[in-house]
């Protein structure tokens, strides 16, 4: 249950981040990037591998947005 909810949240965060980047909405890019990073960290803390769930390009964009490059 937790893992599927986490997967759904990551999917929604990625969709939001894609849309915000496409529509050039910097505030939303920052918000969705932070959400994505938070969910990925939460998964990692619980031993859940998200490698197959997360688009590497979006992860890099999220990290750059947060200054975690």
2-30 pLDDT tens trace: 999 999 999 999 999 999 999 999 999 99
Instruction: Please report the sign of the dihedral spanned by the C-alpha atoms of residue 7, residue 60, residue 65, residue 22.
Output: negative
Q: How many domains does the chain have?
A: 1
How far is residue 34's CA from residue 13's CA, in Å, rounded to a whole number?
A: 9
Range of the domain at 62: 2-66
- The whole-model pTM stands at 0.92
8 A C-beta contact, residue 7 and residue 53: yes
Give Cα separations from 27 to 4, 36, 49, 63 (angstroms). Answer: 28, 14, 28, 15
Residue 69 has pLDDT above 70, yes or no: no
3-state secondary structure at position 49? coil
């Amino acid at each position: 249950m937790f893992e599927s909810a986490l997967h759904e949240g990551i999917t929604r965060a990625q969709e939001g981040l894609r849309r915000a980047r496409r529509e050039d909405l910097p505030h939303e890019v920052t918000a969705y990037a932070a959400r994505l990073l938070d969910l990925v960290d939460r998964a990692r803390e619980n031993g859940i591998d998200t490698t197959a769930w997360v688009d590497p390009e979006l992860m890099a964009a999220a990290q750059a947005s947060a200054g975690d490059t």
